[in-house]
Structure 1
Amino acid sequence: MKPEWFWTVAVVVVLLGAASLGSAEGKNVTSLEVREGHNVTLPCVLPTKEDISDNVFDWKKDNQKEMFLFSRGDHYNNRLTGQDQQFSGRVSFVEGQLRFGDASVTLSNAKMADSGLFSCHFPHVEPRYTAYVRLSVIKGGPQRSTLTNRSEIKGAAPRPHTKFVDVTEKGVELRCEVGGAYPQPEVEWQDSKEKALPAAGPMFSTDSEGRYHVILSVYVTASGNYTCIARQKDIGHKIDDVFYVHENLFSKDTCTVHVSSTVMTAGLVLGWVVAGILALYIFGKWIKKRLSKESSRQEADSPQAGTPESSNSLIQIDDRSDDKKLKYVAC
């Protein structure tokens, strides 16, 4: 018979475990439902959207089975070992999305045994971050979703990545990038009044799995919120991201300072170049003058035949030489 305190501690541990699990799931939990035999994408994106190409993220099922591990370029699909046999050869990811903090993975040929709680953990970011996906695999019937953005559909576009590019004569250039989407998404920029903005034709590319990557740039001339929207009408999917343009980017003072500093920098560089050339010219003239003086001095000091200096020299005969060489020894 175990002591009474043992059961008290056991109950507390169980309650704490349940509480921690509930809090862990919290707002980072996504519920998905997929039909057996279909592919499903499990979403996981760092809130900071920082580049994770040289970082580590680890997918596990029910906090036990190793589903997919990525470690600074190595992962279970190339050199790493340790993946649970249940997921061998069935997990993929879009490498190009790592630079946007996107660690989402696609599980192919969903099975009933795949149902459970999946965790996506980043052990080396500060603060540490974990996202959870509760997956339910069902038999037969149409595929349903409890997600408003339907990210469990194969190839559903992830959240667009928006960023500032430059300030030009046309205005502030913004760029929207959408990756790993199939079917091909329609990408559009809107202002705060949900009015579509004119933009140059989007640039499309496809990866080895046939999924589309889209880049769309736009020029804006006023501050405010601008939204990039990705739509896939065939699967009823829509997702967006908002970028705020600060009014300081349109300040004339800012542009004047920018131009003035550029001109000043160019002037300084040109001034240093001219000063360097002038210094080399003066130094060359000095060297030439110095060499000329040295040459004149040597000519003045050297003895000349028929001059009084030559009579002041002693002439010695070198008997050791058959040619009777003359050696001039200055007095």
Structure 2
Amino acid sequence: MELLLLVCLCLLSCSGDARVRVVVEQDSDAVLPCSPNPKVDLTGQVFDWKKDGQKEVFFYDSGIHSNKGHTGQDKQFWERVEHFQDQLKNGDASIKINNTKMADNGIYSCIFPRLQSQTFDIELVVGAAPEPYIKILAETKHWRLLQCEAHGDPLPTVEWKDSDNNTLPAEKPHISERGGRSYVTVKITVTKTDNYSCVATQETLSHQVAANTSVLLAGE
């Protein structure tokens, strides 16, 4: 699944420092960025990643780390977290969490105990909606019945738009459950040749994604 990464640098933490926000689709990978200020070679340094101030996500100490000789990593993150070894010399302590789940939502702290205990908070939000799926249900030379399906957590609102970005009247959204996920389906009947977009929006995540389709009606 394509990695979706949305970083917002202007969220404020309790201490007043800028907090990074990373928004990804469920089951995709998430890169949590972190570097000390100023940047230094981290090859012989220590950095510690924790979730919600408690769970150990990843620990590094001069070449010994959670995937090589260090114990204590929380079971939630076993064999799912990796760092970027070749970037340590550039001061990069970022990690990648593979195959993210809803349980991974939370605040992650990147701590440098030997560098004035510098701490940086990153908010990980899992559940961004992927691109909606458009399907043709029926058609004649005068009209076409289109269906758009989307999912995400929270469940997105779905709208149909024309090429001028006008919101079009459509059928009432239908909510269904499948494979442990909620889906929203919206149908529309179009009667003119145009390019149409199905737009899925999650306002609480500041996330929007769209799928497009072209309709050519021979009866016009």
Q: Shorter-chain-normalised TM-score: which range?
A: 0.5 to 0.7
Deviation digits for residues 245-280 of structure 1 (CA, Å, limit 9, x no counterpart): xxxxxxxxxxxxxxxxxxxxxxxxxxxxxxxxxxxx
Aligned twin of 1:66: 56
Q: Aligned residue for 2:76?
A: 86
Tell me the equivalent position of 1:312: none
Is 1:33 equivalent to 2:20 in the alignment?
no
Equivalences for 1:236-275 in 2 at 5 Å?
A: none
Q: 1:140–1:95: structure 2 CA closer, same or farther, 3 Å change rule?
A: same
Contact 2:23 2:128 survives alignment (8 Å): no
User: Which residue identity is paired with 2:49?
Assistant: W
Q: What amino acid does structure 2 have at the position aligned with 1:44? A: C
> Hey, what's the Cα distance between the residues in 1 that align with 2:58 and 2:38?
22
Tell me if the contact between 1:35 and 1:142 (Cα under 8 Å) persists in the aligned partners. no
CA distance in 2, matches of 1:28, 1:101: 19
The 1:138–1:124 alpha-carbon spacing in structure 2 relative to 1, beyond 3 Å, is same
Structure 1 equivalent of residue 169 of structure 2: none
Residues 163-189 of structure 1 deviation map (CA, whole Å, 9 limit, x = unaligned): xxxxxxxxxxxxxxxxxxxxxxxxxxx
Matched with 1:313 is none
Write out aligned runs for 1:305-316 (5 A): none
- Aligned-pair distance for 1:27? 2.7
User: Does 1:57 pair with 2:44?
Assistant: no
Are the counterparts in 2 of residues 61 and 116 from structure 1 also a CA contact under 8 Å?
yes
> Which sections of structure 2, spanning at least 5 residues, go unmatched?
1-12, 133-151, 153-220
2:125 alignment counterpart: 136
**Greater per-residue helix proportion:** 1
2:123 partner letter: R
Q: Map 1:149-168; keep pairs closer than 5 Å.
A: none
* TM-aligned CA deviation for residue 140 of structure 1: 4.0
Specify the alignment match of 1:22 in structure 2.
14
The CA RMSD measured in Å over matched residues stands at 1.9
Greater RCO (Cα-Cα under 8 Å, separation 6 or more):
2
Q: Distance in 2 between matches of 1:142 and 1:115?
A: 21
Change (3 A) 1:92 1:140: same
TM-score normalised to the size of structure 1?
0.35
The one-letter code sitting in structure 2 at the alignment partner of 1:33 is: V
Q: Percent identity?
A: 40
Aligned to 2:105: 115
Q: TM-score, normalised on structure 2? A: 0.52
- Structure 1 unaligned blocks of 5 or more: 1-20, 145-331
What is the aligned residue count?
Answer: 121
Post-superposition offset of 1:36: 0.2
Letter in 2 for 1:69: F
Deviation at 1:29, TM superposition (A): 1.2
Structure 2 SS opposite 1:79: coil
C-alpha deviation, 1:142, in angstroms: 4.0
CA distance in 2, matches of 1:123, 1:117: 18
Q: 1:130 to 1:28 in 2, by over 3 A?
A: farther
- Deviations, residues 34-87 of structure 1 (Å, cap 9, x unaligned): 100000100001121111110100000000100000011100101001100000
1-structure distance, mates of 2:128, 2:39? 36
| Deviation, structure 1 residue 141 | 2.8
Structure 2 counterpart of 1:203: none
Q: Distance in 1 between matches of 2:79 and 2:95?
A: 12
4+ runs of 1 displaced by more than 4 Å?
none
Task: Tell me which of 88, 95, 106 is aligned to 2:85.
Answer: 95
Q: Indicate the residue corresponding to 2:114 in structure 1.
A: 124
Q: How far is the alpha carbon of 1:139 from its aligned partner? A: 5.7
